[in-house]
Structure 1
Amino acid sequence: MRLHLKTIVQQDFLSVFNAFDEQLFRELAPPYPRLKLLRFDGSAPGDVVEVELQTGIKAFRWTSLITERKITDTAAWFVDEGQEVPPPLRNWRHKHLITKQGSGAFIHDIIDYSTGYKVLDLLLYPLMLAAFGMRGPVYRRLFRQV
């Protein structure tokens, strides 16, 4: 299942791309489930990001490996792929793409996920949309024109 969210911001795409660091990661964390950051290496291939999802009942580990990173004249991106994902997920791939748009930029969150069951993927879609949809206002607040 693919989720593609796009947010326009008022800073140039390279400034936005270079701001994808631990501080931004913490700003983007949803209110639920709470995320406990265990490891954040960065966004270069081979880097690892590891969190513990704290639901209040049980904690789940989520480990992602950065597998791609590229910068061109009009776009920049990196990809994290789940190595250990919480149930019911089986597969996770998140492309963080920033594209040039005039003097500003578009931030794309392109998420491909699977539980192994199409019906369950569809049922999870509104939850994914809600969790990642909360990033838009954060992006707009942080990436105003400077």
Structure 2
Amino acid sequence: MHLLLRMRVAAPPTTVWSGFTRELFLALAPPFPPFRLRRFDGCLTGDQVEIELGAGPLRQGWTSLITAHGELPGGGRYFVDEGQQLPAPLHFWRHRHRLEAAPDGGTCIVEDIEFRTASPLLDGLLYPLLWATFAWRGPVYRRRFGAPRS
């Protein structure tokens, strides 16, 4: 299943790139499910991010490896995280983060996600939840990096 969200901010890609920190990662976490950050190395190839979702006996780990990072044409940046250990019901996760240079000097932050579970039906049921989880990030990005001018 493929999920794609695009969010505009006023800051240029270099500013947004340098703002992809542990603090931003924590600010992007939605209020549910309960979330604990275990490790955040950064956004460069070889870095790892480990989180724990849920509480009590329902806790599940999620480990992602940054498998690529680099520059995009026009001054943008990107990095890719791929799930190594995933919480049920996920079986596959690849998240491409693109920080595309916008014509007005700002940035278009692109959340480009591929995921799979054991069944296409479950993929479809999970899609709205994941969409909401990542749409939640838009206002956080705009608070951190400024709202674009209309």
Note whether the superposition's TM-score is higher than 0.5: yes
Q: Kindly state the Cα deviation for residue 103 of structure 1 after the two structures are TM-superposed.
A: 1.2
Give TM-score, length-normalised by structure 2: 0.92
Task: Output the CA distance in 1 between the equivalents of 2:119 and 2:75.
Answer: 37
Q: Kindly state the Cα deviation for residue 74 of structure 1 after the two structures are TM-superposed.
A: 3.1
User: Which structure: greater strand fraction?
Assistant: 1
Greater displacement, 61-70 / 111-120: 111-120
CA RMSD of aligned residues (A): 1.2
In 2, are the aligned partners of 1:9 and 1:144 still within 8 Å (CA)? yes
Secondary structure of the residue that 1:126 maps to in structure 2?
helix
In 2, are the aligned partners of 1:39 and 1:50 still within 8 Å (CA)? yes
Give TM-score, length-normalised by structure 1: 0.95
> 1:7-27 deviations in whole A, cap 9, x for unaligned?
000010111012111010000
- Structure-2 residue corresponding to 1:88: 89
Task: Output the CA distance in 1 between the equivalents of 2:89 and 2:54.
Answer: 15
**Equivalent of residue 133 in structure 1, options 132, 135, 145:** 135
> 1:68-93 deviations in whole A, cap 9, x for unaligned?
00113332100000000000000001
Task: Output the CA distance in 1 between the equivalents of 2:16 and 2:84.
Answer: 26
Identity of aligned residues (%): 45
Instruction: Detail structure 1 runs of 4+ shifted over 4 Å in the superposition.
Output: none
- Structure-1 residue corresponding to 2:77: 76
In 2, are the aligned partners of 1:32 and 1:55 still within 8 Å (CA)? no
- Structure-1 residue corresponding to 2:15: 15
> 1:57-115 deviations in whole A, cap 9, x for unaligned?
51000000000001133321000000000000000011110000121110011110000
- Structure-1 residue corresponding to 2:119: 117
Task: Output the CA distance in 1 between the equivalents of 2:93 and 2:100.
Answer: 22
Task: Output the CA distance in 1 between the equivalents of 2:109 and 2:13.
Answer: 8
Task: Output the CA distance in 2 between the equivalents of 1:56 and 1:112.
Answer: 29
For structure 2, list consecutive stretches of 5 or more residues without a partner in the other structure: none
In 2, are the aligned partners of 1:98 and 1:106 still within 8 Å (CA)? yes
Task: Output the CA distance in 2 between the equivalents of 1:111 and 1:57.
Answer: 28
Task: Output the CA distance in 2 between the equivalents of 1:137 and 1:36.
Answer: 21
Q: Kindly state the Cα deviation for residue 141 of structure 1 after the two structures are TM-superposed.
A: 1.1
